[in-house]
Structure 1
C-alpha cells in the first residue's frame, strides 16, 4: 500500500510535535516536583533538628533553675537574717531600697494566703513598685494602677482567663504580660525570692 507522504506530514507530524511537547512538559513538571519535595524534606529535617535542640536547651534550663533555687533561697534567708541583726544592733530598720516586700500588708477583705482579686478598687496597705518588673515602665505601671492592680501577688496568681481580662484593659500595652513574662517575674518578687529573680531576669531595678 502506498504511503501518502503529504497526509503523513499534514496530520502525523503535528501530533508527534504535540506529543513530544507534552512529554517534555511532563518531564519538567515531574523534575520540578521532585526538587520541591527534596527542599521540603530538607526543611522538615532542619525544623526537627531545631525543635530537638530547643527541647534540649529547655530541659537544661529547667535543670539549672532547679539547682539555682536552693542556693537562691539560702542567699535570701541570709539577707533577711543580716537585715534583722542590723535592726537588733542599731534599733532602727535599714534604709528603704528597691527590694519589694514579700506580700502586701493585710487589709480589709484580704488575708495572707488568700488570692487577691484580679482588680482592686483601692490599695490594701502599701503598694508594690510595679515598675520593678522588667518591661514595665512608668506608663504601664500607671495604667496597671488605674485598672486596680497594685501588687506583685495579684499578678502572680493570674489565671489564663484573668490574663485575657487584664490584657483587654491595657490599651497600647496589650500582649506585654506574656511577652515580658510578668507573671513569672511577679511570682518570684511576691515570694521574696530576689536572688532567683536576679539570676533569671537580671538585677532588680536595672533596665
Structure 2
C-alpha cells in the first residue's frame, strides 16, 4: 500500500513539473509575439502647425487621473437637445471650471443637483478644487437653478454684475 501511494505522489510531482515546463515554454513563445499597442494619434492629424508633444488625446480624461471611478457622478456624453446650462451661474464656477466640467460630461444643473457627498469629493479631487464644491454649496445652488428659480448670484451673472471669467 505504501508503494502504491508513493508511486502516485511521484507521478503527481512529475506531472506538475512537466506542466510547469510546458506552461513556461508557451508563455515565452507567446511573449515573443506580443507587440504593445501603437499610438496612432500622430497619424490621425496632418501635423501642420503642431508641436511634437501637442497631440490630440483620445483617452477619456476620467482615466487620466488617480481619482476613484467608483464615486464619479452621473455624466452625459453630450448636452441635451435644449442645450447646456450656464454653469457659471453657480457661485464658484468660472469659465475654466465650466469647461472642465463639460469635458467630463457635466452640462446641466440637474446633474449637479443629484450629486452626493462622495460625488462632490470626487469632483474636488479630480478637478483639483480643494473644498470648493462644498464651500460654495454647488449642489444647493444647482437644485434651485434646476427648479427654474434664480439665486442672488445667478441674477448678478445674468445682469453682468459679476465677472465669471
TM-score (norm: length of structure 2): 0.47
Q: TM-score, normalised by structure 1?
A: 0.38
- The structure where helix makes up a greater share of residues is 1
